[in-house]
Amino acid sequence: SMKLSLGDRYMKVSGIHKSLFGENYRKVWSAKTTFPVLKLSAADLKPKELGGGMQTHSLRLTDNQQKEWVFRSIEKYPANIFPEALRTTFVAGILKDNVTATFPYAALTVPVFSDALGVPHSNPAIVYIVPDKKLGIYSRDFANTINLFEEREPLGKSISTLKMIAALKEDNDNEMNQKAYLIARLQDIFLGDWDRHGDQWKWVDVKKGKGKTFKGVPRDRDQVFYVNQGLFPKILALPWIMPKFQGFGSKIKNVNALSFNARFIDGIFTNKLSKEDWKITTDFAVKSLTDSVIETALKKMPSEIFETTHLELERQLKERRQDLFRKTPRYYRFLNKVIDITTSDKREMVTLKDTLNGRLAVKISKISKNKQVGKLLLSRVLEPPTNKEMRLYLHG
């Protein structure tokens, strides 16, 4: 093992700098911490290719069974988003300093929460990569660095969000598990993970028969416990600027804004779920995230970090858990003002029926060539004033 600091330079700033840009997790980044050592040749790992990501260095690897693994740098490189001429300017330096708003060990806690909720996950470790000839041309970026190390596809073969959506459109025998997705999204909200756009998910077929049933596998947990401190970040997070940067705390400040990056997928991936479904799912999440689960999750951090941070994180997580009762109904109402429903390219029968009190019953069923009605695909009752509009997209 090696005892190192992720970045003691982050503490070498003035009090004025901290007041303007935040204290954040500077002490966590600068703390000397014990890391396990990983040597590629000893672990039978072979580099395959560099991964994507503008601000993170990542390297894909394979083992002897051809299973894929990935290194993802704990250190971030936000200057990469700038043209070459701007990468040494003060703006790039400010963005680099803002990495202290992220909690570098947060990903280690997520598997315990995920197990409690039944959310698929990888099993990351944070390791120090020693120089090794097997690193080859990647030595410059990865030798003597600290990286997150995890399975690339923990549940086996998976596909992207865009490919999963295409599969749903292609065949109505294919479906996604919307309740499982909602549970995963409640976990994101609980953990303050604001960056949950479509590329942060992979999808596995859990049915393995005629038709596919896709379950989402969340990935990339860089923004769990993200905080917003300092004058300038707080201005940036004002409601009329970028409130998604509101930061982690004991309360979920603005659940709609926190979910901004998921705005293109949350609505369509929960459009079969009723208000009662949301209530039942929220009840399940709150009951599953027990005090014991929270304490066990935080103990997955290195002991040096646990000792200095767990009391405050425990308090915040326990209060946030209870706040789900208040905030998820608000997010349900926000998402369900306008409901988008899309059929597949196969045959379906859509039935719209007025019911009592101005409600609209919507049913979509499979239909055979000889017009025999088959499996029910969607059934919802839209209720004013929550549901103001439905957009129905028919394919064929």
pLDDT per position as a tens digit, 321-344 = 999 999 999 999 999 999 999 999
Read off the pLDDT of each residue in 211-223 and give the average, rounded to a whole number. 95
d(CA 286, CA 190): 10
pLDDT at residue 370, as a whole number: 87
pLDDT at residue 209, as a whole number: 73
- Give the pair of three-digit tokens for residue 294: 């929270």
d(CA 123, CA 108): 8
Measured between its terminal Cα atoms, the distance across the chain in Å is: 59
d(CA 119, CA 110): 10
The percent of residues in the chain predicted with pLDDT above 90, rounded, is 83
pLDDT higher than 80, residue 138: yes
Q: Give the residue among 141, 140, 132 at the shortest CA–CA distance from 38.
A: 132
Rg (CA), the chain: 23
Residue predicted with more confidence, 168 or 83: 168
- Give me the residues paired with residue 349 across strands: 365
d(CA 205, CA 228): 37
Name the least confident of 74-78, 188-192, 258-262, 384-388: 74-78
Domains (ranges, CATH) in the chain? 1-101+121-154 (no CATH), 157-335 (1.10.1070), 339-393 (no CATH)
DSSP secondary structure, 32-51, as one string: EEEE-EE-TTTTT-EEEEE-
pLDDT at residue 95, as a whole number: 77
Residue 17 is inside which H or E element, if any?
Answer: helix 15-21
Tell me, what amino acid is at 307?
E
pLDDT higher than 80, residue 239: yes
Read off the pLDDT of each residue in 12-40 and give the average, rounded to a whole number. 94
Q: Give the residue among 113, 115, 119 at the shortest CA–CA distance from 295.
A: 113
pLDDT at residue 52, as a whole number: 67
Q: What one-character DSSP code corresponds to residue 94?
A: H
